[in-house]
């Protein structure tokens, strides 16, 4: 009899243990399936955002390019004077008229725009009169310098803003929080060209630590070491100009998150410090900062143009200024369209990243 009881008890225990493992596997499987469905839902929301933005971007870019030609045609400047340079005054009226007919400077803006658009669809970006090169060659030579400087500055500014903003928001009212607020307000009010001039005068002219301008030494070819040495000061200037608003936004998001019920509940369970920041504060605080990145891209482009001009960086800024002053329609249209595409693409990617991170983001029906 005792043996039979022991066997029965063991059998019941084994059945209970098997049932417990089955329930546990079911719970884990259900949790995995729910997490998988949520991740697919967030990915689908991000994909729909990108699709909607792509549909909006095409007519927007077309409208921007048409507006550029319309505004340039209303300029009182004579593009032929820029084409001829010093020879403009010595040219006769008949020679000027022949050149106008050859360059097509007197045709209506919509005709010039349609010609440029059809050539663009065939892969021809036109000829730059200011650079005396095909526009495709100008973009291939100068655009990597602008994209490299701007992209690296945005990455550094975002990383700095996330680190400092998180630390300041977690210790609201502390020394670091007050210092970040004061410095952010100060640098937000200082134009990028002022920061650039201060860096040049201190670190390039006075201390002679870095080159003053360009991306290579005179008489030398481009090299990775030379470009890196020349890029330090413009990179610092452009990064500093982007940090303030990102830092303040990240700090405000962290402060709001620390006051939420979820964070209070986590603290009541004894979660503090890095574990609280990583598991409960950052997931809801990074999304607003990512959304802000898309709205800051126009300022980044404008700041990059100013910084490149001050430091003589061989990017698109100098070519853009020359094309605007000389009414170089082909180069102006290409740079304006590229800037519009960059802003639209950056805004779409930031919104898609926000939707992928934050499950609360949805597309309104």
Nearest by Cα to 328 from 10, 31, 168, 116: 116
Token code pair at residue 190: 């200082």
Name which residue leads in pLDDT, 162 or 272.
162
CB 44 within 8 A of CB 362: no
Which of 82-96, 184-198, 285-299 shows the lowest per-residue confidence on average (mean pLDDT)?
82-96
- 304, with CB counted inside 10 A (0-12, 13-18, 19+), is buried
The full DSSP string for 202-255 is: IIIIIS--S-SSSSS-TT----HHHHHHHHHHHHHHHHHHHHHHHHHHHHHHHH
Virtual torsion, Cα 247, 253, 255, 257, nearest 10 deg: -150
Tens digit of pLDDT for each residue in 9-56? 444 443 434 444 443 444 444 444 444 445 556 666 667 777 887 888
Give the integer Cα–Cα distance in Å for 172 and 174. 6
What distance in Å separates the CA atoms of residue 296 and residue 299, rounded to the nearest whole number? Answer: 5
Task: Report pLDDT digits (tens) over 265-276.
Answer: 888 888 777 777
* pLDDT (0 to 100) of residue 30: 47
Average pLDDT of every residue of the chain: 78
- In 3-state terms the chain splits into helix, strand, coil percentages (rounded to 5) of 80, 0, 20
All residues at 6 or more sequence positions from 252 whose CB lies less than 8 Å from its CB, including other chains: 169, 288
Q: What are phi and psi of 128, to 5 degrees?
A: -90, 115
Residue 132's SS3 state is coil
Task: Give dist(CA 10, CA 296) in Å, integer.
Answer: 68
User: What residues have CB less than 8 Å from 149, skipping those under 6 apart?
Assistant: 231, 234, 235, 238, 304, 307, 308, 313, 315
Of residues 190 and 262, the one with the higher pLDDT is 190
Q: What angle do CA 280, 285, 286 make, to 5 degrees?
A: 115
Predicted confidence (pLDDT) per residue in 92-136, tens digit:
777 777 777 666 666 788 888 898 889 888 888 888 877 888 989
């Amino acid at each position: 009899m005792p043996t039979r009881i022991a066997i029965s008890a063991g059998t019941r225990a084994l059945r209970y243990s098997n049932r417990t493992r089955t329930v546990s596997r079911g719970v884990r499987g259900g949790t995995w399936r729910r997490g998988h469905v949520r991740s697919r839902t967030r990915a689908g929301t991000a994909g729909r955002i990108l699709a909607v933005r792509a549909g909006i971007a095409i007519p927007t870019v077309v409208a921007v390019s048409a507006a550029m030609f319309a505004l340039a045609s209303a300029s009182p400047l004579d593009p032929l004077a820029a084409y001829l340079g010093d020879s403009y005054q010595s040219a006769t009226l008949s020679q000027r008229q022949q050149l106008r007919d050859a360059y097509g400077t007197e045709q209506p803006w919509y005709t010039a725009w349609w010609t440029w658009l059809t050539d663009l669809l065939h892969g021809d970006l036109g000829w730059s009169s200011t650079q005396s090169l095909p526009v495709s060659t100008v973009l291939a030579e100068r655009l990597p310098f602008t994209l490299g400087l701007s992209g690296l500055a945005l990455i550094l500014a975002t990383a700095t803003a996330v680190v400092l903003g998180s630390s300041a928001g977690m210790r609201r009212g502390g020394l670091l929080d007050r210092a970040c607020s004061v410095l952010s307000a100060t640098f937000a009010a200082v134009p990028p060209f002022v920061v650039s001039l201060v860096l040049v005068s201190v670190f390039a002219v006075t201390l002679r630590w870095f080159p003053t301008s360009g991306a290579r030494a005179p008489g030398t070819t481009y090299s990775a070491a030379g470009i890196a040495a020349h890029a330090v000061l413009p990179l610092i200037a452009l990064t500093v100009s982007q940090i303030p608003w990102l830092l303040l936004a990240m700090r405000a998001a962290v402060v709001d998150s620390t006051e939420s019920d979820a964070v209070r509940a986590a603290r009541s369970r004894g979660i503090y410090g890095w574990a609280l920041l990583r598991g409960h504060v950052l997931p809801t605080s990074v999304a607003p900062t990512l959304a802000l990145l898309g709205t800051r891209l126009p300022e980044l482009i404008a700041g990059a143009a100013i910084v490149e001009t001050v430091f003589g960086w061989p990017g698109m800024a100098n070519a853009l200024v020359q094309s605007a002053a000389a009414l170089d329609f082909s180069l102006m249209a290409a740079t304006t369209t590229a800037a519009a595409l960059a802003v639209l693409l950056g805004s779409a990617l930031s919104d898609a990243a926000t939707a992928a991170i934050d499950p609360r983001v949805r597309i309104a029906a």
